[in-house]
Amino acid sequence: MVNAGVSHPEIANGVHQTEATAARPPIRLSKLPKNLSPRTKPVWFEAVWMLTEALLVSNPLQISSGLRVAVLRLFGAKIGVETLIRDVRVKYPWKLEVGDRCWIGERVWFHNQDHLTIGCDSVVSQETFITTGSHDIAETMHLVTKPVRIGDGVWITSRCIVQMGVTIGDNAIVTPGSVVHRSLASGGIYGGNPATFKRNRWVENPERDLVSQMGNPEAAPL
C-alpha cells in the first residue's frame, strides 16, 4: 500500500523500491517451522525452567539475589561470586555466563538463544535488552543466532538494546537508550542509535578534554 502523499508508486516512506523488490511476494510465515530456536534441552526441561523463572527469577516480589543466582546456576548458568541479580528474564540459563562482582538490574532481558558472556565487574542496568538472535530477512525469516560477549568493567546503562554478534570491549560505557549493533572498542563511551563513539572513558589530560567537551555537546560526560 502506497501512502497518499507519495507521488510515485515505486517510492514509499522516502525509500526507493526496485521493480523486483516491489513485485516480490512476502515471505509466508505460516510455512516456517513452529520452533525456530534449535532445541538443546528436552521440552520438559524447558517447561520446568519457564515455570521456575516466573516464580523465582523474573518475579519482582522475590527479592533475594542469592536465591535467584542459585536457581540460575541450577539450570546451567555460570555465575561468579559476589554478583547481584535483580528480577530479570533469561531465555536459556544454560547459555549464560556472568563473571564475578557484576550487577544486573531490574527487568533486564537476556534473550540468549546463543551464548551470552559477561565479564567481571560489569553492570547491566534496568530494562536493557540483550539478544543473540535475529531473522534471515532476505530469504526465509529463519532464526539466525550469534553469541554476544561483554567484557570486564563494562557499564551498559538503562534501556539499551544490544544485538546479536556484538562484542563490547573492556571498560566501555553505553549511554541510556542506545542501540548497539556493531562491536565496540575498549575504554570508550558510546551512545545513540546506532551507538557511536563519544569520547574516551579516561583521559590523560582532563583539562584539555573538558575544553573539547564544551565545544562538542555530544561528548558531554554521563
Spans of all domains in the chain = 41-219
Beta-carbon contacts of 115 under 8 Å, excluding residues fewer than 6 positions away, are 95, 96, 97, 132, 147, 148
pLDDT in tens, 61-71: 999 999 999 99
What is the spatial distance between Cα 172 and Cα 156, in angstroms, rounded to a whole number? 8
What is the spatial distance between Cα 217 and Cα 82, in angstroms, rounded to a whole number? 37
User: Which one, of 134, 139, 113, lies nearest residue 24 by Cα?
Assistant: 139
pLDDT in tens, 138-186: 888 888 899 999 999 999 999 999 999 999 999 999 999 999 999 999 9
Rounded alpha-carbon distances, angstroms, from residue 133 to 103, 143, 146, 222: 23, 7, 6, 29
Q: Which strand (E) or helix (H) includes residue 207?
A: helix 206-214
More confident residue, 109 or 2: 109
Q: Which three cell numbers stand for residue 146?
A: 550469534
Beta-carbon contacts of 62 under 8 Å, excluding residues fewer than 6 positions away, are 55, 56, 68, 87
User: Which one, of 92, 87, 79, 114, lies nearest residue 46 by Cα?
Assistant: 92
pLDDT in tens, 102-127: 999 999 999 999 999 999 999 999 99
Report field, pTM of the whole predicted structure over 0.85: no
Sign of the CA dihedral 28, 30, 31, 37? Answer: positive
The radius of gyration of the chain's CA atoms, rounded to the nearest angstrom, is 21
139, 171 in Cβ contact below 8 A? no
Q: Which strand (E) or helix (H) includes residue 155?
A: strand 155-156
The CATH classification of domain 41-219, taken from the options 3.40.50.300, 2.160.10.10, 2.40.50.140, 2.60.40.1730? 2.160.10.10
